[in-house]
Amino acid sequence: MRIRIVDAFTDRPFAGNPAGVLLLDDVFPDDDWLQNVAMEVNHAETAFTHRLPEGGEADWALRWFTPVTEVAMCGHATLATAHVLHTTGAHEGPVRFATRSGVLIATPGADGSLTLDFPTAPLTPVDVPAGVAEALGAAPVAAFDTGPNVGDLLVELADEKTVLTLSPDHRALGAYSARGVIATARADDPSRGYDFVSRCFFPNVGIDEDPVTGSAHTALAPHWSARLGRDDLTGLQASRRTGLVRTGLRGERTLLTGFAVTVVDGELRA
């Protein structure tokens, strides 16, 4: 079958977050095979999708696997999957995905972008856990639980430079949430094209640092919209590859907009 590697939340190759994408014929193969393929691809996520019968609430079924486990929500691999469906002609217009996080919709824009409609993460303020500052290498000014779909500890840091220069103890960070830690700060200079910065560390799912994380922005959007007083923002995920995510807070839903580029189109023989 065909297998593609797509860089998501970027408009150029070798940036953003790479994801494997496989369009399956009908049903999902057994979980061991899906996990082995994801381990072989060895990117943060590999997405598997197949078409559903017409007339239902969704058009395609979608699952996501890291190299070590299946996850409940993934933004960049959903964007990558929608990109493949549209660029190959497998689907036209908005596409509805049936997932473990409910029905997620990806809508193509006239400029070639794609907008994901995801559930907004419920943020609950929590005390900064003991040891987080040492594991992260910086003292948070606030901390939040991001709920079951995202499963991260969100920590706000003093400024953009602090986020950019983090050198955390990844193993130690795994003790503080189901998936990992999102570190964020307000942008020093919004005229540079982004309103906030973030970095995401997910040791519990085999990803020390994720390049660009759509699901994390369902928590970052309400956090920064409340502080900055605007529903529509742009976040820079400041990994080595970097990527931009436009966010639109719409109450219980968050819109995530970005571009994607196919960099590998090959054949899976296993």
Report the 10 Å Cβ neighbour count for 79: 30
Report the 10 Å Cβ neighbour count for 261: 19
Structure tokens at 244: 């931009």
Tell me the DSSP string of 43-102: SSEEEEEEE--TTSS-SEEEEEE-SS-EES--HHHHHHHHHHHHHTTS--S-EEEEETTE
45 annotated active-site:
yes
- Given the residues 45, 156, 160, 209, the one annotated as active site: 45
Give the separation between CA 7 and CA 203, rounded to whole angstroms: 21
Contact 44, 5 (CB under 8 A): no
Give the list of residues 6+ apart from residue 195 with CB closer than 8 angstroms, or none: 186, 187, 224, 228, 230, 233, 234, 235
As to burial, measured by CB atoms within 10 angstroms (0-12 exposed, 13-18 middle, 19+ buried), residue 160 is buried
| CA 134 to the chain's CA centroid | 26
Contact 28, 91 (CB under 8 A): no
Catalytic residues: 45
